[in-house]
Each structure stands twice: as C-alpha cells, then as structure tokens.
Structure 1
Amino acid sequence: MTYAPVNSFDEWTPLKEVIVGRADNYTAHYVDASFQLFYFDNVQPDVDATAGQPLLPIPQQLVDELTEDVAGLTDALSSGGITVHRPSALGKDVDIQSPSWDARATPALNVRDNTIIFGKTIVETAPHVRARIFENDQLKPLFYRYFEAGSRWLTMPRPALARGSLDTAYFDRQGIDVSHVTDADTALSIDGLGLELIFDGAQCMRLGRDVLVNAANRNHAMALRWLRETLPDLRFHLLDGIADSHIDSIVVPLRPGLMLLREPKYLDYLPKPMRSWDVIYPPPMDESAFPDYSAFGFNIASRHIDMNVLSIDENTVVVNSLYPQLIRVLDDRGFTVVPVRHRHRRLAGGGFHCFTLDTERAGGCEDYLS
C-alpha cells in the first residue's frame, strides 16, 4: 500500500483514510490511582469496592462482543470507500513497569486519546493513565509509514506519572474530596518532580485553523502552552474546565455552523463565534438503555457516550444503532446516518469518535470562526 502524508484539519470534511482501534485482549482494567482519577466522575463510589484489587477482569464474552462491534465499524467504513488501517494487536496479559509504578497494558482501542492529527502533523500526547503509557507502540508501524511519506511527527514530553504528578484542581474547585484516591496511590514519587504536562488528544476538537482545547488543571495548562508554542499557525481556544478531560461527548461539530452539544449550559464555554451556531441537543438516555456491569465492575464512560459520533462528511455520520433516538433526530435534519452496533461503549470507555483517528480528510486549514 502506498502512503501519503497525513492531512486532517477538522472533524467533518470527507473522510478518506482512518485508523480504527483494536479491542483484542482487552481483558482487564488496571484500576490504580491514575485510572480512578481520570474516570472519577463516572466510577465513584463503585471503584472503592476494588480497593486492594487493582486488576479488574472483563469477562471474555464481553471482549469478544466488543471486538465484533469494532469489526462492524471497520466494515462500515471500508464499504463506504474509506481506507482503514489497524494498529498492531497487543499480546495477552502484558504487564508494564516504570521505576515508579507497574500496570497492565491496554490495547490501542481508543486511538483518539493518545494522538492528534493537526493537518500534516502527527502529535503523540502525554497519557493520563499509567496503563496506557506504551499504547501508541501499537500504532508506530503506521506512524513510521506516514513519516516516511512526508508527515511531520512530534511527541509531547513523556510524563513519568509518578506519585504526585496529577493535579486534582478540577475536583478541588467543585469541593470533591479525592484524597482517598491520592493517599492510596502505590506509585513512588520522584524527588522535586511535582505536577507534569499530561494531556489526551480527545481534549481537543479541530475546526480547521481553530482548535478547541479543554484545560481543567495545571497538567492540561502546560500542554496548552506546549501546543501554542509548537504549532503557532493554529489558534488554540481554551475551554476552561468544560470537563475533567475529554470533550467529544460534550461538543461535536458536524459541519460549519452546526454542532451536537450535550446541554445548553456548555455554550458559554465555547468561543463567541460558535455560540451562534445551530445546535442539536441529543435526546436523553437513561441507565436502562445500557448493559449492567455491576456483577463484576462498573461503567467508566458516562451515559452521554453515544453522542460520540464520527462524521464521514458534512451530511453523513456514523451513530450507534442502539441510539435510535439520535438517529431519528439526525435523519430529520437531513443527515444520512450509518448505524453501527456498539454494545459495550461504557465499559470500553469510548464511542466511534474515540475508536478512530482520521489521518486524511479532504479539508484544509480553513478559517471557520472569523
């Protein structure tokens, strides 16, 4: 296969090439302090039950069903003429270790999290969760091919993720006490290190020349500074603590002038030009619409995960077939909806936007906000 340099500036122009993640051997969550703090809004107080048992197994049947649904996404994209690449598969029960901590590695499923494509540049980010620190190794065979084809390839400073690296300011501002998580952290500290640059790709939403960036604490603020200094041709707009981390289940631009938005209260976080855009508010979903994992674990994603859709172009969008309410709304607005089944999105922690990394779209560095 002949590769071209990456080219992806936005979330909606025609999708030509994409990486779809792998769920193979995703047999456990490693529920250490870095995992708990990252998913704190969703997993508390359930995660308290795992104290002293950091490895939370996922039943093989659910892994098989998740793998089957990811294959369905791959088939739907391929049948639409989109070139689909896959990461290398992670081996079974791969344990990893740094000088400060150990963890069980996760496969490269939510590939949106540890990489951002900014035009012709690949940017590997600085993971929040220790178990994910080597996840992009499964993507490196693809990145090298893109690099050899002429792509620019950058990497944020790799965080040590030692004890004390994570900023709890987002929770502190809300009066939420997370000390029982930080106090129980078994990782070792590094003398003099303090807070680090830590950031996920899904904290960004790309709109051509403009990029929305959620920064909820000092970890993220350092990353925003790095982005601005490293990519000065782009305009990075601070969304000041719109969420604790990811934003692709809060604000999803479908095309210029139209977006999915979780609730009206989030409008005030957005740049002023976006506040006049047309808005689709997703129909509510209640807990009964999702599988119950209480027999062995808990949901790590919120019940809003199904607004995590993937646009193929300005008029075509991939939506979970198990969210017929949103399918009807989008259909009424004139969209062509591609329904794909995704059963275990709350257990896997991601939807179709999370599972994909679009490496080529037809759009350029357009100015959609001036």
Structure 2
Amino acid sequence: MLRVRCVRGGSRGAEAVHYIGSMLAKGFTGWVQRTFQSTQAAAAPKKVCFADDKVTDPVTKDHPVCSYNEWDPLEEVIVGRAENAYVPPFSVEVKANTYEKYWPFYLKYGGQSFPKEHVQKAVNEIEEMCNILKMEGVNVRRPELIDWSVKYTTPDFESSGLYAAMPRDILLVVGNEIIEAPMAWRARFFEYRAYRPLIKEYFRRGAKWTTAPKPTMSSELYDQDYPIRTVEDRHKLAAQGKFVTTEFEPCFDAADFMRAGRDIFAQRSQVTNYLGIEWMRRHLAPDYRIHIISFKDPNPMHIDATFNIIGPGLVLSNPDRPCHQIDLFKKAGWTVVTPPTPLIPDDHPLWMSSKWLSMNVLMLDEKRVMVDANESSIQKMFEKLGISTVKVNIRHANSLGGGFHCWTCDVRRRGTLQSYFD
C-alpha cells in the first residue's frame, strides 16, 4: 500500500519521484533549488501533515474555483472555442508532436486557417456540447474570441497563434487555485489571453491565481536535430527517454497532469520537461504530491488519452500505451480498466491527436460521464461499470486535437480534499 508522509518546512525530497532527483543532481541541483524555491512553502508555518488526513473544510456554494479531482460533481466548467483556429507553423516542436501522415498538411497550411467548413462543424458540435452540459446542471463559461492569424515576434522567435480550443492544456485547477501553464509550443505562447478575462473575474471573487514562469522558447529549449523520420524512430527515442524539449528552462502543458486529491500524476512528454514538473512539485508541496509515471508511448503529448482517472480507485489505462508504474495503483487497491479499441474510422482527420480520444472523457460525477456518441464500445464499458453515459457527437472537434476532457477545464466540483492512497 502506498503511504507518504510529508513535513511542512522540512525535507520535501521524500515525496519526489527518485529519478527527478537523480536528474537534477547532475550538475545543477543547487542552482535549481536556489532559483525555484516555492515561496508558498517557505512562508508556511511549521507543522506536520500526513497523507491520511482525509477531509478539509467543505467547499462553500459561492466559492468561484475549487476542484480536487476528475470526478466530484461538476458545477462549473470552461469550454474551449474552435473559432478562428489556425494551423501552427511547422516548427520542430510541432513536428515532434504530430504524426507523419499529417506533415504534408502542416507544410502546406502552416500559418493559415484550418479548413473553414470543418471548423464550422466543430463550432456547432461544441455549442451543442455546451447546451447538453447546461441541461445536466453545469454552469458553462467560454474564453474570448481572438484572431489567431496575427503574427507576433519576441526577441527569440516569431509565430502566429493556434486557438483557444483546449482549456485543459493551459489551465489546471488545484483546490481553489487556478494555474496558468507556460506551454511549450511557440504557436501557443499568447493563448492565455483568451482566458484572462475569466481568470481575473475568478481572482476578484476570491480564487488564487498563479502563472507559472513563462519560458523564452528560444532555440535552446528544443532539440533542433530531433531525429524523427519514422514510427520506429519515435519508439526508439521514447524508449531512451529523449524528447524534443530540453531542460533549458521549465515548460509544461497542464494536460500532462492528472489529479486525484492529494496525489497528482504527471508525465515527462514532448511538451512537459522535468524542470516543469519540478516547478509544480515545489509549488504545490507539501499539501500535494507529484508522482511521475511513464508509458510505452512513441509520441507522448498529454496524459489524458493514455491515462484517465475516472473515480476514486478507478482508472482507464490505454492498452496500446501501457503504464510502466501500473503496479503502484494495483497495490493501492485501485481498479485498472482497459478501454476498448476506438471505433473512429481511419479516414477521419486527426491532425493533432490519436484515435484514443475515445477515452478522453469528462466525468460529470462518479456515476455520469460525457462520452462520444459514435463510440458504442466504450459506452458499453461504462455501463458495465455502473456509470451512465451522456452521449455527444464531437467528431469534427476531435480533429482539432481533443476529446471532452481536452475541450474543458473543470473550474468547480463539489467535494473535499482527500487522499486516495493510504
């Protein structure tokens, strides 16, 4: 059984995953620790906390931001927008995160609009998704409309934008705090602008608001010679733990973190580096523990179509991308569910994602899940688990890179902070 003990103000290394420590120890541990010490932890009073502290004060009804996990009853959610979506320029980090079959598409349309008819269908699907969420009793918020075609230049790079379709990528709610991720794609550098009016509103109403250090995204953040030519190259590089992003500066996408109360699971991916995970660990310690988990995945980008926690002690684990640390969950008494093969046809465009968006579901509570209306196999799987399905068709929205979990950020869920690992 997993048992973790943490001491506020004392040594926080105990709860870190060992190979973060070993990595940071090679030459720059002292520098990293001096530079990125958590002001929150430094200012905290000296007291002892235990993983088996079960309950905090209940969430008040008027609290603007509060969510501890992926399954408590959903009360308010941000849903992204497909409007004005632009194909990102075909830079090295975009190439490393997309499949070879779509590289000609990026070479031809990079810096231009996604096919307008397809985008309009996605807009209509997401509007219907919002209507259904409202009928299920959820308050729906939307980001601002932005012209993503505008080119911008920093001292280190130039680019045009992408979209504000995937709030899960850029926003992470931990308790009553909303964290803006720094991102790793240059095309997403200014994506936060679409969400700022909402975040400022939440802040004025009492929420905590943190923006992670923004990377310069200079050439040093990327392996400019990252050798991906074939699927075999991807498998080999992933097995060796080599990624297109370096450790030059912290970077991460929020969608590489999966919450389960006091325990948060993260993966090192093409868009999230170890320094980014370490920043999160220090920022959230000692109240939350960050665990690194990894997968047999040739193209790791975001955890939620590979590993999706859907309830207390219940996790979906992608059979094509097995988790190397799955015994951690089994030994803790968790049920590991293998979702069925997705039904999406081969000829449907998925410019930024895999077919496994079928498992990228949104839990409305422990017994209700929003799932793709076309994926009858996974609907039956949930029904066998005693979870009723709310069916919505977002097939064209899938093409832009996300399922229900990606297209949303749960701002408020009705629940309390608990530890699900004893």
Tell me, yes or no, if the aligned pair for 1:309 and 1:318 is still in contact at 8 Å. Answer: yes
Q: For residues 125 and 271 of structure 1, do their structure 2 counterparts lie closer, same or farther at Cα, with a shift above 3 Å needed?
A: farther
Residue 248 of structure 1, CA deviation: 0.2
Q: Deviations over 1:46-78 (max 9, x none)?
A: 415754863354211101001011111111111
Tell me, yes or no, if the aligned pair for 1:24 and 1:107 is still in contact at 8 Å. Answer: yes
Query: What residue in structure 2 maps to residue 205 of structure 1?
Result: 258
Residue 31 of structure 1, CA deviation: 2.3
After TM superposition, the structure 1 stretch with the greater mean CA deviation from structure 2, 313-322 or 4-13, is 4-13
Query: What residue in structure 1 maps to residue 277 of structure 2?
Result: 224
Q: Point out where structure 1 has 5 or more consecutive residues left out of the alignment.
A: 184-192
Q: How far, CA to CA, are the matches of 1:194 and 1:314 in structure 2?
A: 38
Q: How far, CA to CA, are the matches of 2:122 and 2:397 in structure 1?
A: 8
**Counterpart of 2:361 in structure 1: which amino acid?**
V
Query: What residue in structure 2 maps to residue 186 of structure 1?
Result: none
After TM superposition, the structure 1 stretch with the greater mean CA deviation from structure 2, 299-308 or 203-212, is 299-308
Out of 394, 405, 408, the position equivalent to 1:342 is 394
After TM superposition, the structure 1 stretch with the greater mean CA deviation from structure 2, 348-357 or 263-272, is 263-272
Q: Deviations over 1:244-286 (max 9, x none)?
A: 2311001111111222111186343247145542232221126
| 1:62 counterpart SS class | helix
Q: How far, CA to CA, are the matches of 2:201 and 2:269 in structure 1?
A: 34
Residue 221 of structure 1, CA deviation: 0.8
| 1:30 counterpart SS class | coil
Say if 2:59 is the partner of 1:7.
no
Q: For residues 360 and 290 of structure 1, do their structure 2 counterparts lie closer, same or farther at Cα, with a shift above 3 Å needed?
A: farther
Query: What residue in structure 2 maps to residue 101 of structure 1?
Result: 157
Out of 232, 236, 239, the position equivalent to 1:175 is 236
Q: For residues 176 and 286 of structure 1, do their structure 2 counterparts lie closer, same or farther at Cα, with a shift above 3 Å needed?
A: farther
Segments of 4+ moved more than 6 angstroms: 168-173
Q: Point out where structure 2 has 5 or more consecutive residues left out of the alignment.
A: 1-60
Percent of matched pairs sharing the same residue: 28
Q: How far, CA to CA, are the matches of 1:52 and 1:151 in structure 2?
A: 43
Q: How far, CA to CA, are the matches of 1:322 and 1:52 in structure 2?
A: 30
Out of 302, 321, 337, the position equivalent to 2:354 is 302
Q: How far, CA to CA, are the matches of 1:50 and 1:15 in structure 2?
A: 37
Out of 291, 297, 302, the position equivalent to 1:237 is 291
Residue 212 of structure 1, CA deviation: 0.4
Query: What residue in structure 2 maps to residue 83 of structure 1?
Result: 139
Out of 325, 331, 335, the position equivalent to 1:269 is 325
Q: How far, CA to CA, are the matches of 1:285 and 1:97 in structure 2?
A: 40
Tell me, yes or no, if the aligned pair for 1:25 and 1:91 is still in contact at 8 Å. Answer: yes
- What count of residue pairs does the alignment treat as equivalent? 348
Residue 218 of structure 1, CA deviation: 10
Tell me, yes or no, if the aligned pair for 1:169 and 1:217 is still in contact at 8 Å. Answer: no
**Counterpart of 2:363 in structure 1: which amino acid?**
S
Tell me, yes or no, if the aligned pair for 1:308 and 1:352 is still in contact at 8 Å. Answer: yes
Tell me, yes or no, if the aligned pair for 1:114 and 1:201 is still in contact at 8 Å. Answer: yes
Say if 2:420 is the partner of 1:368.
yes
Larger radius of gyration: 2
Query: What residue in structure 2 maps to residue 115 of structure 1?
Result: 171
| 2:202 counterpart SS class | helix
Q: For residues 343 and 264 of structure 1, do their structure 2 counterparts lie closer, same or farther at Cα, with a shift above 3 Å needed?
A: closer
Q: How far, CA to CA, are the matches of 1:96 and 1:269 in structure 2?
A: 41
Say if 2:90 is the partner of 1:31.
yes
Q: For residues 289 and 277 of structure 1, do their structure 2 counterparts lie closer, same or farther at Cα, with a shift above 3 Å needed?
A: farther
User: Structure 1 or 2: larger strand share?
Assistant: 1
- TM-score of the two chains, using structure 1 as the length reference: 0.85
Tell me, yes or no, if the aligned pair for 2:362 and 2:404 is still in contact at 8 Å. Answer: yes
Residue 100 of structure 1, CA deviation: 2.2
**Counterpart of 2:291 in structure 1: which amino acid?**
H
Tell me, yes or no, if the aligned pair for 1:4 and 1:146 is still in contact at 8 Å. Answer: no
- TM-score of the two chains, using structure 2 as the length reference: 0.75
Query: What residue in structure 2 maps to residue 165 of structure 1?
Result: 221
Q: How far, CA to CA, are the matches of 2:318 and 2:265 in structure 1?
A: 16
Q: Deviations over 1:76-127 (max 9, x none)?
A: 1111111111001112622222222222212211000011111111111111
Out of 46, 68, 75, the position equivalent to 1:16 is 75
RMSD value, Cα: 2.8
Q: How far, CA to CA, are the matches of 2:278 and 2:81 in structure 1?
A: 31
Q: How far, CA to CA, are the matches of 1:111 and 1:367 in structure 2?
A: 26
Query: What residue in structure 2 maps to residue 311 of structure 1?
Result: 363
**Counterpart of 1:310 in structure 2: which amino acid?**
L
Tell me, yes or no, if the aligned pair for 1:242 and 1:269 is still in contact at 8 Å. Answer: no
Q: Deviations over 1:290-335 (max 9, x none)?
A: 52x4xxxx63201111110000000000001111111122123221
Residue 176 of structure 1, CA deviation: 4.3
Q: Deviations over 1:106-150 (max 9, x none)?
A: 221100001111111111111111111111111011101111111
Residue 10 of structure 1, CA deviation: 0.2
Query: What residue in structure 2 maps to residue 328 of structure 1?
Result: 380
